[in-house]
Amino acid sequence: MPLINSNDILETINMIHEDNLDIRTITMGISLFDCVSDDTERLCTRIYDKITRRAEHLVAVGQSIEKKYGIPVINKRIAITPVSYIGGTCDADGFVRIAHTLDRAAADLGVNFIGGYTALVQKGETAGATNLIDSIPEALSTTRCLCGSVNVASTKAGINMYAIAKMGKIIKDLAYRTRDDESFACSKLVVFANAPEDNPFMAGAFCGAGEPDNVINVGISGPGVVASAIKRAGDCDLAQLAETVKRTAFKITRVGQLVAAEAADALDSTLGIVDLSLAPTPAVGDSVAYILEEMGLESCGAHGTTAALALLNDAVKKGGVMAAQHVGGLSGSFIPVSEDAGMIAAVERGALSIEKLEAMTAVCSVGLDMIAIPGDTDESIISGIIADEIAIGVANTKTTAVRVIPAYGKKVGESLEFGGLFGRAPIMRVNTYSPAKFIKRGGRIPAPIHSLKN
């Protein structure tokens, strides 16, 4: 058997110990279609039993892989069939009972999060979807591990503006209900366009209707590794820079593939996808913003940021695609504000605005993410922020999403301290001119034309 090269060993160890390379998440998708019942009690029992049976060894397997390869596996998570499908006969109270069941299952298993408190309403709402959406404030403010999402638009269906109007109100309500906890519940809710069915990342993970009964999807990380590689590349031109990113993304993704295959095998699950993601953390050096600055921008948010991010995002995908058997999820570079030390710094120095972040989301995954706004922001303005972001996804045939936190009782200049991977969110200025009349019109913005591309 050929020996492993010392330089390769040192490179891998450096990536893990110096540049914060980690596996961000092993997410087990579990279908709950076979739990359906018109009796809420029975439904909850079946859901709890299936999740705790199928994911019984998820945490242990994650820890054992972590130990075997010496690479941190930060999160072990569960994604389930959208609950609006499963609880079609429940009223809002019934959905809250399901929410508490899911939270209890997650806590008993020791997983970090469980996602799938979800409704897909791009064309309109079923009774189940309406009841689930109505229950979101109660469900997400009284649970710890549960994450939810609402898909309000798709490129094929257009944009459901009724749902967007509703989500503005719900996000405000969630912020108020968790006002003593930094309005934290808002970080567990995401509003999507073109939501993927196999996304391993929270808050938007769910196990889509086309997924197998049990599937393992893995999300990788590694902004620090890419930033270091760019630094080492020195004063090269941008084509060479893209090559550097591709090579690095390949190596990172290979680890994701190895972990995904091993986890799927150990858990007797289908091997799903590797999400080719660059997911930052608040740790110094683990920042997507620093990558952009390493490319040559004085600060993330400067003119040129969107172009730099487009290069980065494309190169990550090109490098990663060859390294993994199947790719999917949100694949691309994430730009959450609170979870990225460089983004936080860029906001605080006045270099990065919501408008610029919105432009950046046109060329990367996934959307306006973990952004704190003043607590007194009107719900119609939140709906306007969502509508703009969703329109970018719909028009460009890509996933976009919004996860904003209207920080109850706080203003620009203050910040929310979440701690851990959620980090710190400086409160960002919002354009306060009102979109209320536009939002109030409701209806569905028609699906965009796919020819005459301009």
Cβ-proximal residues to 117 (8 Å cutoff; 6+ apart), any chain: 83, 99, 102, 132, 136, 139, 140, 146, 147, 148, 149
Smallest distance, another protein to C-beta of residue 279, A: 18
Report d(CA 150, CA 159) in Å as an integer: 12
Which stretches does DSSP call E strand in 164-260? 189-193, 214-220
Q: Which is nearer to another protein, 97 or 254 (CB)?
A: 254
Contact 128, 87 (CB under 8 A): yes
Smallest distance, another protein to C-beta of residue 69, A: 4
What distance separates the 2 farthest-apart alpha carbons in the chain?
70
- Dihedral-angle region of residue 270 (phi above 0 means left; psi in -120 to 50 means alpha; beta otherwise): beta
Q: Which is nearer to another protein, 74 or 207 (CB)?
A: 74
Of 75, 420, 81, 104, which is closest to residue 263 (Cα–Cα)?
75
Q: Which is nearer to another protein, 10 or 107 (CB)?
A: 10
Q: Which is nearer to another protein, 177 or 246 (CB)?
A: 246
- Dihedral-angle region of residue 234 (phi above 0 means left; psi in -120 to 50 means alpha; beta otherwise): left
Three-class DSSP category at 131: helix
Report d(CA 219, CA 75) in Å as an integer: 9
Smallest distance, another protein to C-beta of residue 8, A: 4
Cα torsion at 386, 389, 392, 395 (round to 10°)? -10
Smallest distance, another protein to C-beta of residue 206, A: 29
Q: Which is nearer to another protein, 2 or 234 (CB)?
A: 2
Smallest distance, another protein to C-beta of residue 264, A: 15
Name the residues that contact another protein, by CB under 8 A: 1, 3-6, 8-13, 64, 67-71, 251, 254-255, 257-258
Contact 115, 170 (CB under 8 A): no
Smallest distance, another protein to C-beta of residue 67, A: 5
Smallest distance, another protein to C-beta of residue 252, A: 8
Q: Which is nearer to another protein, 258 or 352 (CB)?
A: 258
Contact 281, 21 (CB under 8 A): no
Of 371, 333, 363, which is closest to residue 222 (Cα–Cα)?
333
Three-class DSSP category at 373: strand
Three-class DSSP category at 273: strand
Q: Which is nearer to another protein, 5 or 451 (CB)?
A: 5
Of 336, 448, 433, which is closest to residue 385 (Cα–Cα)?
433
Smallest distance, another protein to C-beta of residue 142, A: 38
Report d(CA 157, CA 148) in Å as an integer: 21
Q: Which is nearer to another protein, 6 or 454 (CB)?
A: 6
Q: Which is nearer to another protein, 67 or 441 (CB)?
A: 67
Smallest distance, another protein to C-beta of residue 273, A: 17
